[in-house]
Chains A and B, each alone.
Chain A
Amino acid sequence: MPMSSPVSPPQMAERLLQWCLGAAPASRYIVGDLREEYASLRHRRGRVIAHLWYWRETAAIGSRYVGRRSGGLQAEAGVHRSAGPKPSIWRDLGGDLRSALRVIRTSPGFAAAVILTLALGLGVNASMFGAVDRVLLSPPEHVQDHGDLRFLYLTGLGSRSLNSPTAYSFPDYESIRGVPALSGAGAYRPRRRVTMGAGDEARRAIVQDATAEFFPLLGVLPAQGRFFSAEEDRPGAPPVAVLSYRFWERELGRDDSVIGQPVTLASHTYEVIGVAPRGFTGAELGAVDVWVPLRTNVALTANPSVLESRGAWWFRVLIRLQEGVTDREAEAQMNTAHTAGITAYRETGGEDPNDRMMGGAVHTGAFMTALGPHADEESAITLWLAGVSILVLIIACANVANLMMARGIDRQRDRAVRLAFGVTRRRLISQALAEALVLASAGGLAAIVVAHWSGRALYGILLPGIPIPDATIGLRLIGFLGAAVLLTTVAAGVLPALQALRTAPGDVLRRSGRGATRDGGRARALLTLGQVSLSTVLLVGAGLFVQSLHNALDVDPGFDHDALINVEFEPRADVDGTRSDALNREAVEILASMPGVDQAILSTSARPLYGWDEQSRMRASRIGAIPSVPQGGPYTYAGTEGYVEAAGLRIVQGRAFDSVEYATGGPPVLMVSRSFAEGVWPGLDPLQECIFLESGPVELQGPEPCRPVVGVYEDLIVRSVADKGLWSVTWPLSRETEGLRGILVRADGDPIEMVGPIRDRLAALSNDIRYVHVTPMIARIESMRGSWRVGATLFSAFGLLALVVASLGLYSVLTFAVARRSREIGIRAALGAQRRDLVALVVSRAARLVAAGLVIGIGFAALTGRFLQSVLFGVPTLNPLVFGAVGGVLIMAGLLAAWVPAWKATAIDPVGAMSAD
């Protein structure tokens, strides 16, 4: 043997080998032989070759020994004469697994049913887990040590409720930044859409302002170039920008020369200095295209005073706690700094209309916003659906257990024979579990495919604003699936295992072939009952959501919105107000004469019918100040001649404005919404009343008399379908009014078809126009129904899945019962039972199961439904209509499932059935 200095083979491989060999009698010799040859090979061929060789040998030897590892190192020294390896758990397991694999080969139908059921149950759960993981458990990508990060919230003076995280002023941020309890702090503005480029090249980009401190705070490193320096993040600094990787890839084809190039955002030019790493979306999950330095950009695009105003709550503030510092300690320090900042501000004469907020306290909140005090609706629905998908898995497990028990009963005789021959019950149990493990693993593998496919669909429906990660199947997901497979194995394998335990060989062999209907029959019926009940619960949920959606679709927005289109354009930065007004007037002229357009008028807001809350400067006749109502308001709308008709307001009392009132210097009048009239002047005739506009709105110059109400219109739904009785006030404006930035177009026909022509026509109007926004009102109204549509879609999908699985379960129970009772049915047929008696025999069993499942399921749904109330819309959870519909669907499914077994029962040949054994 060639000798060299002692060298050891790769440790991992050796450990693996030792594990595979287990307590095999030869294990120590084998390891030694291999070491010896490894040393020789390494001496001759070098370390890498020797390592590869060792791994290969480990695999070759290990695969021969694993699963046959036998107990007891026999014969420690001297001459060894083996009496053959003793049986052991491991050896048994190997055999059990092999025989379980045989099941797939010999009963492909059974195996396919089990694997398919599990693939659906597990796959849907895996993709749901992916969504939950993304929304609730994982930090946004590239964020380091997110456990130390906190969002800051302010409470108002004397108020205990937290404001939304986007309610932090910049001076307040500056005052807490240097507190010793923090190792860092950063501020950013919620992302917004901005026009990028100009003319034909113009497109919308999602922009986020962030301070220079923001990126180091998250611990993220750029993929190209660099992030902002403090020098670049101050008012007046030359504007710079960092692109997201997604944007860089999608829009610029990952052009390496992008650094140093200019980009135009809303008329300002920025120099690109870096590209963020792939997948980075800042501190939240929503996609961002471009980051710009906050201080520079706010000063450039808004107003530098925003950075000094304690009333401008435009920002989100994120901090990182020093190691070992608790939230309490950090809050205490920050509150001291916060109060000191406000005191100094007041002493220097700072004042703000929003003073009531100042002096409140600073609170820390979880970095994962979904877990914080301001969790959004998305996370609530995601959690609900996660719960729902677990129900689907439970149903699937029940079904698999059911199928396996049916099979177990079929093999009872086989088991009894084996018991009689001395095979232990432990072996039988471990065989049942091994079978479940093999099937669950196969189901798990198939589930990966289902998860991949359903994951993308789920992202699209549930999280539309969040970029789909590159890989929807990650390590965590595989881990989840692995755990789910194990749980499923136990859940689905335990009943068949118990069945194995209870087999009494004598009994079984005596009764052999004579249809022991009692065996596991009750357990299987209970499993089916459970499946039907749970399916009922899911279907009730689906029904409630579908009805919510239906209600949301039925909501009358209060105005004739079908043909309405909002138009707004962005002028170039150097275009002044006078020119903008002229452009708008010209645009309205052009639009009014376009074919397919009925009416085009100007209005105050860029989003017509998106008025301002102007309670503070209105006074009503008789009562003076306007009372506050929960939904805010009154909101004010105004437009030029034809506004009431163009907007489609429905007059319920009085009249619309006439052309004299729309003209410059015309008599000042207004119209109010129905709820406003009823709320402000209950029991009085609103047409006898008037409203005084205290300071006069911007667009109405000069002192104002009390404006008489000339008409009352139906309440409008503007922000959300759930808006009810929104208070609003409308007045007429002349074409010469300055600052009218919205255009309202009423189309003749389909508004969607008009979008393109209108955009093209206006874009060609002048070089001063950078971008034209054209939005049909129906699209706005539709987006208000989004959450119910998501709920209805996904609940229905899950409900349907559950129904299919439960019907399969029912089908298998019935088919099996018919097979077991074929002898009995044969006797009945021989004694003169009619076809319909036999059918009734099977169907009545199905009916009993479905009826009991329905009662239990509806009872459960009625008890738990109220938790769903907050996400439903105008639907009582104790809902006879939904309960009835679900009952109908389940009865239909039950009949369908009973059809084939019933037919089989009628086809049983009495002679054959009685003589068979």
Chain B
Amino acid sequence: MPAGHIGEFEQMVLLAILQSADEAYAPNIRVVLRERAGRSVSRGALYRTFDRLAAKGLLEWQVEDSNPIPERGGAPMRRFRTTAEGRRALRLSRKALLNLWDGIEPELEHA
């Protein structure tokens, strides 16, 4: 598997992080995925994807103090952001997809 290759769901997660901008906390990312991509994801799958993307070096997180949110009971929260490598992977992936899509759209429209 070439470095930087990402699966469909990983792509979506990275995009959702970018969409969430400064509010990229896990619960928000789920909301974005649901509302923008129509994907209802299980939390377990999402967290595992975060781990995997972090392991690939495509995203990173910043630990924030959770004191303003008493419901968290002191558990820290993390805000995600994509790494430069993550953004490059997205670009590559987009390019690959566009190349593949090139010229077949009219045909698919009638399908």
Contacts and interface: CB of A to CB of B under 8 A. Distances in A.
Interface string A19-34: 0000011101111111
A64 B49 CA distance: 11
Given A78-B62, A82-B54, A84-B55, A35 B73 contact: yes
A20 to B, nearest CB: 10
A36 B62 CA distance: 18
Contacts of B27: 33, 36-37
A85 interface: yes
A36 B50 contact: no
B1 to A, nearest CB: 14
A391 to B, nearest CB: 47
A34 B73 CA distance: 11
Contact of B71 (A24, A30, A40): A40
A79 B62 contact: yes
Residue of A6, A28, A60, A82 most packed against chain B (CB within 10 A): A82
B47 A64 contact: yes
A6 B69 CA distance: 9
A622 interface: no
A287 B60 CA distance: 71
A326 interface: no
A90 interface: no
A61 B63 contact: no
A35 B72 contact: yes
A33 B55 contact: no
B76 A85 contact: no
A26 B77 contact: no
B99 interface: no
B43 A61 contact: yes
Interface in B23-53: 25-27, 42-45, 47-48, 50-51
B43 A29 contact: no
B63 A64 contact: no
Contact of A60 (B43, B60, B69): B43
A26 B71 contact: no
A170 B57 CA distance: 88
Given A79-B60, A80-B61, A81-B57, A60 B75 contact: no
B77 A35 contact: no
Interface string A52-87: 000001001111110000000000111111111100
B70 interface: yes
Nearest to A83: B55
B66 interface: yes
A84 B48 CA distance: 12
A61 B44 contact: yes
A578 interface: no
A7 B57 CA distance: 36
B78 interface: yes
A35 B51 contact: no
B47 A61 contact: yes
A80 B54 contact: yes
A6 B71 contact: yes
Contacts of A1: 69, 71
Interface in B64-109: 66, 69-73, 75-78, 83
Among B25, B48, B63, B71, the one with the most A-chain Cβ atoms within 10 Å of its Cβ is B71
A746 to B, nearest CB: 83
A3 B69 CA distance: 8
A36 B69 contact: yes
A161 interface: no
Contacts of A84: 55
A85 B51 contact: yes
Nearest to A5: B70
A8 B71 CA distance: 8
B44 A60 contact: yes
Interface string A388-432: 000000000000000000000000000000000000000000000
A26 B47 CA distance: 8
A573 to B, nearest CB: 77
Contacts of B43: 30, 33-34, 57, 60-61
B73 to A, nearest CB: 5
A354 interface: no
Given A8-B73, A78-B62, A63 B44 contact: yes
Nearest to B57: A81
B44 A39 contact: no
A81 B73 CA distance: 26
A29 B76 contact: yes
A30 B61 CA distance: 13
A30 B50 CA distance: 11
A103 B70 CA distance: 49
A775 to B, nearest CB: 71
A628 interface: no
A15 to B, nearest CB: 14
Nearest to A37: B27
Contacts of B45: 64
A25 B61 CA distance: 12
A184 to B, nearest CB: 51
A60 B42 contact: yes
Given A35-B75, A82-B55, A64 B48 contact: yes
Which residue of A3, A6, A32, A35 has the most chain B CB atoms within 10 A of its CB atom? A32
A31 B61 CA distance: 16
A631 interface: no
A129 to B, nearest CB: 39
Interface string A807-823: 00000000000000000
Given A60-B43, A61-B47, A32 B54 contact: no
A111 to B, nearest CB: 30
A32 B77 contact: yes
A870 interface: no
B31 to A, nearest CB: 10
Contacts of A40: 71
A28 B63 CA distance: 11
A33 B77 contact: yes
Contacts of B66: 32
A106 interface: no
Interface in A775-811: none
Given A29-B76, A63-B44, A36 B71 contact: yes
7 nearest A-B residue pairs (beta carbon)? A32-B75, A64-B44, A39-B71, A61-B44, A84-B55, A32-B72, A82-B54
7 contacts: A1-B69, A33-B43, A36-B27, A64-B44, A64-B47, A80-B54, A85-B55
Given A26-B78, A82-B55, 18 more contacts: A6-B70, A6-B73, A7-B71, A29-B77, A32-B66, A32-B72, A34-B43, A60-B42, A60-B44, A61-B43, A61-B47, A62-B44, A64-B44, A64-B45, A65-B48, A77-B63, A78-B62, A80-B63
